[in-house]
């Protein structure tokens, strides 16, 4: 673990070495849709929603392939 960041009185963010930051481009309309889904689904931020979506997509691909 690299560090701990205090966000407020009861919330802390833990930074782990195994998490990497990546960057990619999205058109503005798609980004607005993602932001709306973040609100509707109760996510804290875009990254959490996108990470979960990627994990779900990979699991679906594995399920279709029959490999897990």
pLDDT per position as a tens digit, 30-57: 999 999 999 999 999 999 999 999 999 9
CA atoms of 14 and 52, how far apart (whole Å): 18
pTM: 0.67
Beta strand 12-15 with 3-6 is antiparallel
Instruction: For residue 11, give both structure tokens.
Output: 């919330």
Between 4 and 56, the higher pLDDT residue? 56
CA atoms of 63 and 3, how far apart (whole Å): 36
């Amino acid at each position: 673990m690299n560090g701990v960041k205090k966000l407020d009185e009861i919330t802390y963010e833990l930074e782990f070495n195994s998490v990497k930051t990546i960057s990619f481009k999205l058109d503005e309309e798609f980004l607005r849709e993602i932001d709306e889904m973040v609100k509707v689904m109760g996510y804290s931020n875009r990254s959490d929603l996108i990470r979960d979506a990627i994990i779900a997509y990979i699991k679906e691909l594995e399920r279709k392939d029959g490999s897990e």
